[in-house]
């Protein structure tokens, strides 16, 4: 399943292999998902102390991890907080920090450039020591973001001309954690990043296209949402329509846009371009509590491109608008689902898109 899976519980300190400097710190197959995991790890900020808003006696450090989990590239940060407790560490203690999805973290560089990343997921692991001499609680806050190809290129460009200088992370309740990178860490950071990018170049992520051109009416709906090379949810494919001209396919696409979606916006280009686009939508009631439900409107763009005896469709740019008029991308809403709800959520979205495609296929093939 293409979702962010947190590597916090799998993280351990880097072991440098002199014979193979690019050997991953983790190289394994997950016992449950059977997916390949490869990560390159580094301590970016050694033991220090938090600033305003957090107990100043709280020791901390920040680790980073570039990795491949199945068909996703991830950048993960691990904020490790070590709190000393004078009365002994309580098993029910809670951290002052809480990771929240859709918050941001920032990588600041010495030349003044910075890169923002959206937190796609995270968790907190608590280790308790009730030692009589050194009672303490250690919180490991892990947060991850999916690295797109464009993000990797931007990082590569910045590493070539500058040094990473500071990390800034947004937590819940406007808590901000900001730490400077420990001296001498950039050389090792660039080394593991180059190892990660080398592996990525030699083992590119391949997004398999699904063939829905002849979708049966009672299909088994997949529980995975298709994604493009930039990790955006996207449906696309092409099909042959024997002995039908480009002009005829174009006219059929016009008929589809005008008659099936009378109340929706659509954009018609010239016949030479052979492209028609429209904004589609569907609504769904989601559970937001034990008794409460909330309606969310989903919008997307569907485009049809026609040539002689051939057409191609693309469905992308998904947006979700709640009753409070707050707009999220479908990717953000998908990552906010609880794990047990992901399959159900993906299946519902796929079903709506399949119904959309059936209307299109009927017109383009059968009219």
pLDDT at 190: 94
Of residues 270, 260, 265, the one with CA closest to residue 367? 260
Q: How far apart are CA 352 and CA 282, in angstroms?
A: 8
Q: What is the CA radius of gyration of the chain?
A: 25
Query: Per-residue pLDDT tens for 194-205?
Result: 999 999 999 887
- The answer to whether the beta carbons of residues 205 and 282 sit under 8 Å apart is no
Of residues 125, 340, 354, 322, the one with CA closest to residue 235? 354
What architecture does CATH give domain 235-366?
2-Layer Sandwich (3.30)
**Section 323-342 average pLDDT:** 69
Label residue 100 by pLDDT band (50, 70, 90): confident
Would you kindly state where each structural domain of the chain is located, as residue ranges?
Answer: 8-202, 235-366
Label residue 271 by pLDDT band (50, 70, 90): low
Q: Which residue has the tokens 């050694």?
A: 46
User: What DSSP string describes 98-113?
Assistant: ---TT-EEEEEETTS-
**Section 142-171 average pLDDT:** 90
The pTM assigned to this predicted structure is 0.54
Compute φ and ψ for 171, nearest 5 degrees: -115, 180
Query: Per-residue pLDDT tens for 48-67?
Result: 544 433 444 455 789 999 99
Pairing of strands 293-307, 176-180: unpaired
Query: Per-residue pLDDT tens for 241-270?
Result: 877 888 888 888 888 877 766 555 556 665
Start-end of H helices in 93-228: 149-161, 185-202
């Amino acid at each position: 399943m293409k979702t962010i899976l947190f590597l916090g519980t799998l993280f351990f300190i880097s072991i440098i292999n002199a014979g193979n400097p690019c050997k991953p710190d983790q190289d394994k197959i997950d016992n449950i998902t059977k997916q390949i995991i490869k990560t390159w790890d580094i301590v970016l900020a050694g033991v220090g102390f938090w600033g305003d808003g957090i107990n100043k006696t709280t020791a901390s450090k920040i680790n980073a991890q570039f990795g491949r989990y199945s068909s996703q590239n991830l950048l993960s940060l691990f904020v490790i907080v070590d709190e000393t407790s004078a009365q002994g560490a309580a098993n029910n203690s809670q951290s002052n920090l809480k990771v929240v999805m859709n918050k941001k973290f920032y990588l600041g560089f010495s030349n003044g450039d910075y890169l923002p990343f959206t937190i796609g997921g995270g968790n907190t692991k608590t280790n308790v020591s009730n030692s009589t001499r050194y009672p303490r609680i250690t919180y490991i806050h892990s947060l991850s973001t999916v690295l797109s190809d464009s993000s990797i290129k931007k990082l590569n460009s910045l590493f070539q001309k500058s040094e990473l200088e500071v990390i800034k992370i947004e937590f819940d309740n406007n808590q901000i954690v900001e730490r400077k990178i420990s001296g001498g860490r950039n050389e090792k950071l660039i080394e593991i990043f180059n190892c990660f990018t080398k592996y990525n170049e030699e083992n590119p992520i391949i997004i398999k296209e699904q063939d829905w051109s002849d979708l049966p009416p009672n299909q088994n709906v997949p529980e995975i949402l298709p994604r493009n090379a930039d990790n955006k949810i996207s449906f696309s494919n092409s099909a042959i329509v024997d002995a039908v001209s480009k002009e005829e396919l174009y006219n059929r696409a016009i008929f589809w846009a005008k008659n099936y979606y009378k109340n929706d916006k659509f954009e018609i280009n010239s016949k030479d371009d052979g492209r028609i686009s429209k904004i589609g939508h569907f609504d769904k009631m989601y559970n937001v509590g034990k008794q409460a439900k909330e309606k969310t409107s989903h919008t997307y763009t569907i485009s049809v491109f026609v040539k002689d005896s051939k057409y191609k469709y693309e469905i992308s740019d998904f947006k979700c608008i709640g009753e409070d008029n707050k707009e999220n991308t479908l990717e953000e809403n998908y990552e906010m689902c609880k794990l047990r709800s992901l399959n159900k959520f993906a299946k519902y979205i796929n079903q709506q898109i399949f119904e959309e495609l059936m209307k299109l296929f009927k017109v383009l093939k059968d009219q």
